[in-house]
Amino acid sequence: AMQPDLEQYAEYFETPVTARMAKFQEKPIQVRFLIVGGGVCAGYLCKHLVDLGAKPGEIVVVSDEGVAPYERPALTKAYLHPPSAQVRARLPGFHTTVGGGGTSQAPEWYQNAGVELRLRSRADTVDLASRVVTTLSGVRFRYENLFIATGCRPNRATRFGIKGDAWHGVHYVRSERDGAELVRQLEGLEAGSPAVVLGGGYI
């Protein structure tokens, strides 16, 4: 059986039960623009809202990743280049919006723009009637405008009845953490070692 990615739930497990219950009883944090997800869309959306005049403190991003939004396509391209390559994508070099010809929105950009990044924080429920989003740790946000920017996840082999998702050397690349682990294992291979890529699309 595939092992669950417990790191994405670290916020929940690291928060004592009493603290979670206390947060549920607290008054929700009022937010004008709440963005759930920290992928490419979230980064570009933050810039767009700021360019349209959003004031400091009006935008909050809830993301289960540990870094500011970045250009995910780089993970299967320049991020995989060998150490000898002239170009090797590494953060902060490919934060959004460099893919669109803009400047890198490193964490300092969000600080200067007054955008709050709630990293390593996973949204658990969305109550559309009360306009409240609750995270795994019990923090609640009452939003005026909600944007779901979670992106997509790769299809796993088990979905098609193929075993092996949890085997050593099997990789799915979605996050920077996934890419880093793939690079680590690739650089540990001997020359001529076999590798298999499932899928024949752009990536």
> pLDDT digits over 39-53, tens only?
999 999 999 999 999
pLDDT of residue 2: 40
Tell me: pLDDT of 23 over 90: no
Strands of the chain, DSSP E: 29-36, 59-62, 115-118, 123-127, 132-135, 140-148
Tell me: pLDDT of 1 over 70: no
d(CA 167, CA 163): 9
Query: What's the average model confidence in pLDDT over 163-168?
Result: 88
pLDDT in tens, 73-120: 999 999 999 999 999 999 999 999 999 999 899 999 999 999 999 999
Tell me: pLDDT of 57 over 90: yes
Give the length of the chain. Answer: 203
For the chain, the average pLDDT equals 89
Q: Which range among 54-58, 140-144, 162-166, 197-201 shows the weakest confidence by mean pLDDT?
A: 197-201
pLDDT of residue 3: 45
Tell me: pLDDT of 8 over 90: no
Residue 88 to residues 57, 75, 78, 80: CA-CA distances in angstroms?
A: 35, 10, 5, 7
d(CA 50, CA 80): 32
DSSP calls for 27-41: PPEEEEEEEE--SHH
Burial class (CB in 10 A: 0-12, 13-18, 19+), 16: exposed
Nearest to 35 by CA among 123, 136, 120: 123
Enumerate helices (H) and strands (E) in the chain, giving the number of each: 5, 6
- Amino acid letter for position 92: P
